Structure 1
Amino acid sequence: MPVASPVVTLLVAGLHGLLLLMLLVPIVLLRRGRKVGLGHGGDIQLLQRIRAHGNFVEYVPLALILIALLEITGLRREAVALLGGVLLMARVLHAVGLWRSPGYSFGRFTGTVLTFLVILASAALAITRGVAGLSLG
């Protein structure tokens, strides 16, 4: 199996790191402004932002690990960039949708579906490449 430097995933992970900070800072500011030390204190806006952040940390790490492993094992950089780009777009859509409404929204729904599709595609590729690698080695 090829061993490549995962430079595309490195870039994508860096962009996701910036997005994570963009999700965190408003939470900190709202908590300080509304004097909420733990949790959301019954504040719906704060709860929405906490969940946007929480959802991000629930899904993005595994997706990035899968994408990085795919890149390291030789998946074409264009495919890696597509997976990473769709993941980033999905997480932005989800966060914006959840910030705007605690209920259904186009952004939240679309972001969730795209995130699941990236994880599903990455997992399927990883399994396929892993099985192929086992049979070669």
Structure 2
Amino acid sequence: MITALYASLLALLMIWLAVQVIKQRRKNRIAYADGGIEGLQVARSAQGNAVDYIPITVILLALIEYNGANVLLIHGLGIIFLVGRVLHARAILAQELKGRINGMKLTFAVMFALVVLNLVYLPFDKLW
């Protein structure tokens, strides 16, 4: 299953973001929430954003794969989404607005494409 590759790579990104939060917690000795520490707020924001967008997009990618989409299309969308998520995560941590915007543009483009493609590849004959 092709989606497993992108789910695994995106899980690694999520682990890396969690480690950034842990580093900030240890550095600032904050056990819960963010303690008003900007570095921890930024790290938590990056992690939270990934958690918001990655799961549903991986599910949508798996569904078009399951319903028979072209292998190159699945890889293309997976790569674009992965690049968008990495750009966005790195930009949040660097507090760089342009990278965040570009990362979200790629993220939303892939999500919208997957919504449309899931409707196209939907096996209507098996719905009823």
Name the TM-score, length of structure 1 as normaliser: 0.88
| Deviation >2 Å, runs of 4+ | none
3-state SS of the aligned residue for 2:121? helix
Q: RMSD between aligned alpha carbons?
A: 1.1
Task: Name 2:101's counterpart in structure 1.
Answer: 109
Contact 2:25/2:40 (8 A) holds in 1: yes
Percent identity between the two aligned chains: 33
Matches within 5 A, 1:1-137: 7-101=1-95, 105-130=97-122, 133-134=123-124, 136-137=125-126
Distance 1:21 1:100 in 2: 18
Q: How far apart in 2 are the matches of 1:49 and 1:113?
A: 21
Code of the residue aligned with 1:114 in structure 2: it is L
Q: CA deviation at 1:34?
A: 0.7
Q: Distance in 1 between matches of 2:77 and 2:36?
A: 37
Q: Which runs of 5+ in 2 are unaligned?
A: none
1:124 alignment partner AA: V
Please tell me the residue identity of whatever aligns with 2:117: L
Distance in 2, Cα, partners of 1:127 & 1:72: 13
TM-score by length of 2: 0.94
Distance apart, 1:128 and its partner CA: 2.0
3-state SS of paired residue (1:75): coil
* Matches of 1:44 and 1:62, distance apart in 2: 28
In structure 2, how many angstroms separate the alpha carbons of the residues matched to 1:61 and 1:30? 25
Give distance in 2, aligned partners of 1:84 and 1:77: 11
